[in-house]
Amino acid sequence: MQKKLLVKLLTVVFLVFSTSTFAQHEENAAHETGSEEVSFKAAIKESITHHLLDSHDFTFFSDSETGEHYGFSLPIILIDGGIQVFSSSKFHHGETVAENNGNYYKLFHNKIYKTDAAGAIALDDHHHPTNVKPLDFSITKSVVMIFITGVLMLLLFGGLAKSFGKGPIATGAGRFFEPVVLYIRDDIAIPNIGEKKYKKYMPYLLTVFFFVWFLNLFGLTPLGVNITGNITVTFALAMITFVITQVSGNKNYWKHIFWMPGVPTPMKIILAPIELLGVFIKPFALMIRLYANIMAGHVVLMSIIALIFIFQNWIGSSLSFLLAFTLSILELLVAALQAYIFTMLSALYFGAAVVEDDH
């Protein structure tokens, strides 16, 4: 009962924070354009886009009246005629030009471009910047949350491992996570990979499940981080699965791709390119599935919250709040479900790569 109450309380806090954030972005849009009336469509689009994009500073909230931003700056690391390192505070949230070692840089749509002291950004016919864009290895908000998640996992599961040294029963938070670990082993790894070879893949399967799950949950907090809704993150995870699958592939795996046994020779010639294409389609599907589901959930939830400001009456706003509350609860399920699907498909690919010919 206490856990259910805690979940409801956190959801309400998230919705209240999100509505205030949306209102702040709407007021900021009006201030920047010098117009008191900005269309709701533009305000909604700006708010949702801001939520989905990564940023070079970690802002908890902003005061639209004073223009103050409350948070902390992050390090900027650029490769431009050498390594350029400075604080993101020099950008003043994209309002000013940053100077470092005689070079000038400006934020444009959350990307860093080289410019002059005046901060001029040249655009082509398609409104894309033509300025030089240096290699950006900055520590962004998403990277910070990835580091935090990694440390959290290290502490949680390090503690779980130590608790088994004291006895057969896990203690502390390990009592909650131990059944999940056993489920991944007994219902995902062993059935898909096999009892003989599943053990060497368990570290990765456990890591990717909890990593994706925790990041999805962080995306539902008032911190407003959209990490697994970033295609570069899902691309990196899918590439790791792809590399492990190809490295693990045995003779039987490659034989079923290039020269399928029991199939007429003309059909082998036709099917071989298709099977080879499937090798690359599988990780692509992993990447898109996780990215699209998480991003769509954030977009839908923010859009429903925006309806509160569109209706501007107690009936419509109350219904929108209730719908957003229900969707937030559903997103908790989606957070675990997407981690499960990614782990299940990874185990399935590993199993196909190591299966013996007699199977």
User: How many CB atoms are located within 10 Å of the residue 304 CB?
Assistant: 21
pLDDT at 86 over 80: yes
8 — pLDDT class (breaks 50, 70, 90): very low
pLDDT at 43: 63
Please state whether the predicted TM-score (pTM) of the whole model is above 0.85.
no
Q: Where are the domains of the chain?
A: 75-138, 143-354
247 — pLDDT class (breaks 50, 70, 90): very high
Higher pLDDT, 112 or 46: 112
pLDDT at 271 over 70: yes
pLDDT at 309: 72
Tokens matching residue 342: 């990614």
190 — pLDDT class (breaks 50, 70, 90): very high
